[in-house]
Each structure stands twice: as structure tokens, then as C-alpha cells.
Amino acid sequence: MEAVKEEELKLRHVETDVLIPKMMREKAKVLCAEKVEAFNLCCKDSGLFMVLKCREQNAALKECLTVHYKDPAFFEECKREYIQEKMEFKKTGIPSKNRTQKLPASM
């Protein structure tokens, strides 16, 4: 656990203000998937009138996302995940998105 605390102290401004919030947005979209889908369907069906017709879906989506963005526990969860990915990258040199890819069946 000491290594994580040590790593935490070394987070750069860009990590705490850009990269971790980006992770939060991505995870919040997954957590609010139902509202994202409802908004997307409304926009798709409404065409040019989406601004007027999709206000309710837009408000519900914003509310769902905002709940997660303002949750300090969610920030800490994403921060811990970011730190783990960063430490794993330092060990392996492989970015997390490449690490999770499966090998082709022919190998």
C-alpha cells in the first residue's frame, strides 16, 4: 500500500485535472448507458428539432452524469484505477488498452 501512496504524491497536474476526469467521464457514460441511449435515440428520431424535442432526455442524462462527476468517492475510485494502470505500465511498458487485447486464435 505504501507504493500507491508514494505514487499518489507524484501525480502530475495533467493527471489529476485531465486524465482522471476523462476516465470519470468514460465510466459515467457506461453507468448512465440507459440515459445515453435514450438521448441518442431521441436525437436520431428528431432530426433538426432535437433541441426542442429532447430536452427531457438531455436533462436526465446531464443529471445522471453530474451525480457521478461530483461524487468524491467516484473520483477516488477512478484515481486508484488510474494509479494502478500507471504502475502496471511502468512494470510492463504495455498500455492498459493493449494489455487487455486477446491474442489471435492462430497463435
Note every long-range contact of 71-75, with CB atoms under 8 Å and residues 24 or more positions apart, other chains counting: 74/24, 74/27, 74/28, 75/20, 75/24
For residue 102 the three cell numbers come to 486477446
pLDDT (0 to 100) of residue 40 = 94
pLDDT in tens, 10-53: 889 999 999 999 999 999 999 999 999 999 999 998 888 888 99
Residue 90 has pLDDT above 90, yes or no: no
Q: How long, in residues, is the chain?
A: 107
**pTM listed for this prediction:** 0.72
Which amino acid is present at 103?
A: L
Rounded to whole angstroms, the Cα distance separating 83 from 31 reads 21
Residue 99 has pLDDT above 90, yes or no: no
